[in-house]
Structure 1
Amino acid sequence: MKLIQTFLLLAAVAMPFAASAADLQVTVVDGPPVPATLYLALFDSAEAMANNQALALQKVELRDGAAQTVFTGLPAGRYAIKSFADENGNARLDTNIVGLPTERYGFSNNARGRMGPPSFDAAAVPLDADSASISFRLR
């Protein structure tokens, strides 16, 4: 009996220290009007984004140029998303001869970069212990 009481006391004390998790609901608009697959990559740091080391990946179908998805169980922090609409089904962002994208792409915060992708700070959105919703456009 004493062992059970000790366990319950320890569990009650540790409960406030348990990591809280939140969900990030993402809506993407202005995609192509034809059926396409939307690829999304979630990053939790500038280094991860620069090295293309996504914390999580999602793939959803775009319908009428829009899609929704949820990244679940995220700890509080800042996150950036980059995405593209795969219009021809080859699972990659196609580019022209000079390296400019020929398929629609976008970043959280509708961030834009100069001569390349935007920085993590430009695209980062805060997520606290509560769940959040964001929306951004493809271009």
Structure 2
Amino acid sequence: MKFLIIYIVLFLGIFSDENPRENPSETTKLTIQIDNIAVLDGTIKIGVFNTDIDFLEENATIRDYSLTVTSATEIFVIDDLPKGEYAISMYHDENSDGVLNRNFFGIPKEPYGFSNNVKPKLSAPDYKDCKFSFAKNDTLKIRLIH
């Protein structure tokens, strides 16, 4: 009889969709350290992308965040992002007008940055250059470009 109970428990455990090693109540956090903030005013707008389709296009983000600037280095924690592959873009909206101001040639006049600290040369970076894997608590350091 003991063996029958053990077999039943093992049989049910095989078909259970729960993973005993994962605790669903635990959240995975992505901490972003933003450096090289020159103007202690305005907000930093952060966009999270999960595909190269429409990367950096307006309304193509899967998450958007905003952070009020108070120091030369800011820390922002994202705790609602599932594990996966992502790319981050951000800009410092120094004048709080809600847009990344650009000059006549389309070059940003306000500081900006990307995951992996990609520095664009003659055009915007590609998703593949900015992407990173997020599977556990992690910290990204992004240095704003002026």
> TM-score by structure 1 length?
0.81
For 2:55 and 2:79, how far apart are their aligned partners in 1?
19
Among 2, 12, 16, the alignment partner of 1:13 is 16
Among 93, 112, 123, the alignment partner of 1:116 is 123
1:43 maps to a residue whose letter is F
Question: What are the within-5 Å matches in structure 2 for residues 44-83 of structure 1?
Answer: 44-52=50-58, 53-83=60-90
Q: Which residue of 1 aligns with 2:134?
A: 127
% identical aligned pairs: 22
Question: What are the within-5 Å matches in structure 2 for residues 25-104 of structure 1?
Answer: 25-52=31-58, 53-104=60-111
Q: CA RMSD in A?
A: 2.4
Q: Which runs of 5+ in 1 are unaligned?
A: 1-8
For 2:114 and 2:55, how far apart are their aligned partners in 1?
12
**1:50 Cα offset (Å):** 4.9
More helix by share: 1
> What is the number of residues matched between the two proteins?
129
For 2:28 and 2:54, how far apart are their aligned partners in 1?
20
Contact 1:79–1:125 at 8 Å: present in 2 too?
Answer: yes
For 2:28 and 2:53, how far apart are their aligned partners in 1?
22
For 1:50 and 1:68, how far apart are their aligned partners in 2?
22
Runs of 4+ in 1 over 4 A off after TM superposition: 17-21
Describe the SS at the equivalent of 1:54: coil
Contact 2:91–2:100 at 8 Å: present in 1 too?
Answer: yes
Max Rg structure: 2
**1:48 Cα offset (Å):** 4.5
Q: Which residue of 1 aligns with 2:29?
A: 23
Describe the SS at the equivalent of 1:46: coil
2:65 maps to a residue whose letter is Q
1:44 maps to a residue whose letter is N
More strand by share: 1
